[in-house]
Amino acid sequence: MRRHDLRLRRTGTSTAARDSFGSAARESLRVRSRYTNWEKLLRRTFGRVKIDIEPVRDLSIAIQKSDVCVTCTPAREFFVCKEDIAPGTFVAAVGADDAHKHEIDPALIASARVVVDSLEQSCAIGDTHHAIARGLMRKEDVYAELGEIVAGKKPGRTSDDEIFIFDSTGVAIEDAVAAAAVYEKARAAGIGTYFQFAA
């Protein structure tokens, strides 16, 4: 059963990881990367998903054409500009995990519905922190922590035109859950190496 109150993306959009996360699939994936082997890696990763992978040179145009924008860089100057984001876009800002990193235009953060993994941490080191430091928003303007939406305490997206930003600075529970999932899959597949942790 689909949880409508957990909706972060717009109605009608979908994700590239269809086989892992549901029945919907993106029609195309636009990628800008400084790495030369990124296309081979993506094709291996998403090989089961029928998806067009399109390299892009102009990041602004790629963002303007996208329903979903995911950033995961060590950038120290923002590169996702407010004017490039269309109504209804979902932005997952994953790279700004210290006070000097910066991916998202502070004016965009201040004008969007912002959800964070940790309110205190995102206001101190994430992209949200840059908008607060410039006086464009306050800590109280952050809509929710992701856990509040997952627990049903607050609704997710309430309008298809909302610009929705997830500012992820990284919290230990995310790493623990990911590690547990990898461990269980490796164990089920009979792969991996056992080792003793130092006491």
Residue type, 9: R
pLDDT per residue over 125-181, tens digit each? 999 999 999 999 999 999 999 999 999 999 999 999 999 999 999 988 888 988 999
Q: Are residues 31 and 88 in the same domain?
A: no
Looking at the 3D structure of the chain, how many domains does it have?
Answer: 2
Instruction: State the chain's mean pLDDT as an integer.
Output: 83
Q: How many CA atoms lie within 13 A of 120 on its CB side?
A: 1
Q: What is the DSSP string of the chain?
A: ---GGG--SPTT---S-HHHH-S---SEEEE--S-TTHHHHHHHHTTTS--EEEE-S-HHHHHHT-SEEEE----SS--B-GGGPPTT-EEEE----STT---B-HHHHHHSEEEES-HHHHHHHSHHHHHHHTTS--GGG--EEHHHHHTTSS-S---TT--EEEE----HHHHHHHHHHHHHHHHHHT-S---PPP-
- The answer as to whether 175 is a domain residue is yes
Q: Are residues 39 and 93 in the same domain?
A: no
- The answer as to whether 3 is a domain residue is no
- The answer as to whether 158 is a domain residue is yes
- The answer as to whether 41 is a domain residue is yes
Q: Are residues 46 and 78 in the same domain?
A: no
- The answer as to whether 198 is a domain residue is no
- The answer as to whether 121 is a domain residue is yes
Domain hosting 81: range is 66-186
Q: Are residues 52 and 108 in the same domain?
A: no
CATH number, domain with residue 128: 3.40.50.720
- The answer as to whether 171 is a domain residue is yes
pLDDT per residue over 10-25, tens digit each? 444 333 333 333 344 4
Percent of the chain with pLDDT over 90: 53
pLDDT above 90 for 88? yes
Q: pLDDT-derived band of residue 48, with 50, 70 and 90 as boundaries?
A: low
- How much is the average pLDDT of 78-101? 94
Angle, CA of 18, 108 and 26, to the nearest 5°: 15
pTM given for the model: 0.75
- The answer as to whether 155 is a domain residue is yes
> Is the pLDDT higher at 122 or at 47?
122
Q: Are residues 20 and 105 in the same domain?
A: no
Q: Are residues 164 and 78 in the same domain?
A: yes
